[in-house]
Amino acid sequence: MAGSALRRLIAEYKQLTNNPPDGILAGPISDENFFEWEALITGPSGTPFEFGVFVTRLHFPSDYPLSPPKMKFVSEIFHPNVYPDGRVCISILHAPGDDPMGYETSAERWSPVQSIEKILLSVVSLLAEPNEASPANVDAAKMFRENREKFDEMAKRSVRKTLGL
């Protein structure tokens, strides 16, 4: 199984290298391990995350693409859909099949037709439009709903940290 996963990861890496999405750089951390990736995501323009360069890590299981990778922000980020430890909470990264909580449809969850590029673009979209209904960081979600000015200030603080300011 790991052999087919490796072939898929190599193919996706070639695609991302030849045609990178705007504001995203991604690839394996080392040539020896294609199952651990780093991605740099630029904060979307017109959002409080604009100008930030956020470092993330992706860990791919040996049965990829049957199972989704795990994704985590290495850079500090204050966002409703990112746990305080950096783990990303987004439907596309949830295991395939029916949601035991009944919140997501199976079509919203992981499927082998998804790709690394789709994951990264979904995270960029999430930075622009948080999903308040399913927060991973309750404090960030509450602030986003009730005090957008304070939320924007916290988000911009994350941006300054990514820039070393």
Q: Which residues are tagged catalytic?
A: 89
Task: State the helix-helix crossing angle for 148-162 and 138-146, rounded to 10 degrees.
Answer: 130
Hey, what's the torsion of the CAs at 150, 153, 159, 165, to 10 degrees? -140
Say if CB 70 and CB 58 are below 8 A apart. Answer: yes
Closest by Cα among 117, 118, 73, 65 to 91: 118
Say if CB 26 and CB 123 are below 8 A apart. Answer: no
